[in-house]
Amino acid sequence: MIKGACQAPGLRPVRVAGQAAVGGLLLAGLGWTLRAAWEIRLALAGEPASGPPDQGNGVHRPLDGLENAYHVVTSVANLAALVCAVSFLSWLVRVRDNARTLSGRPPRYAGVWVYLGWIVPVVNFWFPRGLVADAFRASAPGRKVPFTVNLWWGLWLAGTLSGVGLVYKDSTDEVIARAYDEVWPLLASDAALVGAAVAGAFVVRAVTRAQTAAPRPA
């Protein structure tokens, strides 16, 4: 549970939203951990004699039990990631609004970037981190942005932009073939995303605590 002083008057409540965001992040981390575990199982089992599931030219062989299980695990992990995204963005909207109230100044980033900042090329390298960092600075003037913010963002970029993370375009069957052929890049991406989820939970707690302890805005 995120503990802190009573919410300052004039600010949107963020404690429950922070708890939901922490839960969503940890749930997403668990989903990526399960994916990694199944990728290890696939690598240890080795590719069947019949070859990879996607055999090219539109031909797909029937999946075995382990491959079918990986499809289920992937779907569960994707659902967990969706829950994480919704809860995190809901929290981020609130802390951004509170940062504007606490600082008395317009935010550096327009509200639309809370959503588009994650998907628009180039700006997605720094806008989301900037939104979180600005919320912390407005909530705790004079305090240094926690190291976990940079750790979270660095791991997130490593996991999503490595070519095997959230943004790769391979189908699940193609990922299974990767696990058979060379599992280490997949595991490295999974580890980065799990680390980002855990670090992100600490980031949410830090910003939420700063805002619940913030003095009453003038």
| Helices and strands (H, E) in the chain, number of each type | 7, 0
User: How far apart are the C-alpha atoms of 145 and 163, rounded to whole Å?
Assistant: 29
Q: Let me know if residue 7 belongs to a domain.
A: no
Read off the pLDDT band of 217 (50, 70, 90): low
Range of the domain at 140: 15-56+63-212
pLDDT mean across residues, the chain: 88
Q: What does the pLDDT read at residue 218?
A: 55
Total length of the chain:
218
Report helix, strand or coil for 53: coil
Q: Let me know if residue 93 belongs to a domain.
A: yes
Q: Let me know if residue 9 belongs to a domain.
A: no
- Cα 83 to chain centroid distance, Å, stands at 10
Q: Let me know if residue 5 belongs to a domain.
A: no
**pLDDT, tens digit, for every residue of 60-104?**
888 889 999 999 999 999 999 999 999 999 999 999 999 998 888
